[in-house]
Structure 1
Amino acid sequence: MSHKALFIADSLDHAHHFHQVFMRLGVDVCAGSTNQLSRLWTSSSRFDVVVYEATGAARSALGVVEHQAQESETPLLEILTPGDFQSINRPFMERCDYVSSNASLEECMMRISRLLAYHVPQHEGDELRIDSMLINLATYQVCVNGMPIDLTYLEYALLAFFAKHPNQTFSRDALLQRVWGFDYYGGSRTVDVHVRRIRAKIGPDLAQRLETVRGVGYLWHAEIPNAQA
């Protein structure tokens, strides 16, 4: 069953941006403007996450949105302008996160994925443990030696893909299709950039598993190569 999101915004720029986010995450979305909020989000409505553009005149309804999110236990992502972050001064809200209005597609995907995890039941098969690394496939989180690793959504998606397909060599183009999606129009060298960042973040021991296959692409080893002999 796919997730369902409510997206409330008065900016067409944000609407287009988050349409791409929801499409890549496979989330069904109900969208509208601020003046449609009360009609779209009623007591009988059930959403897995609400994304609210809390900028400009829409900030006046923010208190109502936050209250309804808490009452219905619905995860809430607030879109703020960069300057608004300095003025946030209210108690911590569980199931609530914030994102800048100029945030990248990848950051928005990661934040929404983490909020959606509140509605995902945990199962034993939701975790991949590789040496000191734990990949949680339900919450999109990675820990090394018990400490969370700060990955972008695409860094996480690429690492998880490698871990689920050990001992297989994938070309850069194949990785772009399998991880980025068919609608990605950037160059294949972006894979190299993400691999380099992943290696730096997971540490040198685990990075030994991620081999560059010259002239082809990348291979994730089920065992560290030096330990196979």
Structure 2
Amino acid sequence: MNKQVLFIANTLDSAFKFQPVLSTLDVDVSAASTKRLRRLLAPGADVDLVIFEARDKAFELLQEVVALSESRGCALLAITDESLVGEMRLSSDLSCDFVMHDASHAECLVRIRRLLGTNADDQAKTITVDDMTMNLATYQVTISGEPVDFTYLEYALLAFLVQHPNHTFSRDVLLQNVWGFDTYVGSRTVDVHIRRVRAKLGPGLAEHIGTVRGVGYYWM
């Protein structure tokens, strides 16, 4: 049975951004404005994850959303702006997280999967390739049981490729999905991060990352 996601926002910006992210998951999505918040999170509500746009005036409702989510036993992902991060007070529970409004699709997907995974034992949390294991819930990678120290962007790039095997992605597409839409870095940044990821994977695993000259990269 699909997980139930409640998307609460007063603008269309986040809705348009998250639609392609949520469409890749086995979830049913209900969308509403903050005016229907209390009704949709009433006792007995069947919700696994609340995605709440905590921006502008809606930020004032964040603590109420946190309390309602905790009382209903559902996870919460707050969408916010960097200027408001210092004012956020989220639950220390692992089922509560936040993401920047301009975050990449890859980051949003990883965070949503982790949150859904905390409420669903059947949610796929790990990917194993040869002697490498990726934990999508904790953002950790081990090779032969030893942890590998990836930066967040290196991890996001690797996770995106591993989750879309045998498909060549151009540098522009990788920039869009890993770095985000509002990025000011060039395509050379992708090449640099690919080299770093290959180096940390080691000779054997690095061969899984293929290069199509003049186009981009793929995972095989």
TM-score by length of 2: 0.71
Q: Which consecutive residues of structure 2, in runs of 5 or more, have no partner in the other structure? A: 178-185
Equivalent position SS for 1:146? strand
* Structure 1 residue 148, shift from structure 2 partner: 6.3
Q: What is the count of residue pairs matched by the alignment?
A: 199
Within 1, Cα distance between the matches of 2:201 and 2:59?
A: 46
8 Å Cα contact 1:21/1:105 also seen in 2: yes
Are 1:17 and 2:23 counterparts?
Answer: no
The correspondence of residues 1-229 of structure 1 with structure 2, limited to 5 A, is: 1-89=1-89, 92-121=92-121, 127-128=127-128, 130-131=130-131, 133-136=132-135, 139=137, 141-144=139-142, 145-147=146-148, 149=150, 150=152, 151=154, 153=156, 155-162=158-165, 170=166, 174-176=167-169, 197-198=193-194, 200-201=196-197, 203-206=200-203, 207-210=205-208, 212=210, 220=220
1:146 positional shift: 2.6
How many Å apart are 1:130 and its aligned residue?
Answer: 2.8
Identify the range of structure 1 (100-109 vs 27-36) with the bigger mean alpha-carbon deviation. Answer: 100-109
Structure 2 counterpart of 1:146, which letter?
P
| Cα contact 1:175–1:191 (8 A) shared by 2 | no
What is the TM-score normalised by the length of structure 1? 0.69
Q: Quick one: distance in 1 between partners of 2:211 and 2:26? A: 32
Letter in 2 for 1:157: F
CA–CA distance in 1 between the matches of 2:91 and 2:113?
23
Structure 1: tracts of 5 or more residues without a match: 163-169, 185-189, 221-229
Superposed CA RMSD: 3.7
- Do the aligned partners of residues 22 and 214 (structure 1) sit closer, same or farther apart at CA in structure 2, a change above 3 Å counting? closer
Equivalence for 2:182? none
Amino acid at match of 2:197: K
**SS state at 1:121 partner:** coil
Q: Is the 8 A contact 1:4 1:28 kept in 2?
A: yes
Q: Distance in 2 between matches of 1:116 and 1:124?
A: 10
Residues 79 and 218 (structure 1), Cα distance of their counterparts in 2 relative to 1, 3 Å cut: closer
- The answer as to whether partners of 1:76 and 1:97 remain within 8 angstroms in 2 is yes
Is 207-216 or 78-87 further displaced after alignment?
Answer: 207-216
SS in 2 for 1:135: strand
Whose radius of gyration is greater, 1 or 2?
1
Instruction: Tell me if the contact between 1:3 and 1:27 (Cα under 8 Å) persists in the aligned partners.
Output: yes
Q: Which has the higher helix share?
A: 1
Between the aligned partners of 1:125 and 1:76, the Cα distance in structure 2 is: 18
1:175-207 deviation digits (Å, cap 9, x = unpaired):
45xxx8xxx9xxxxx999768635523615154
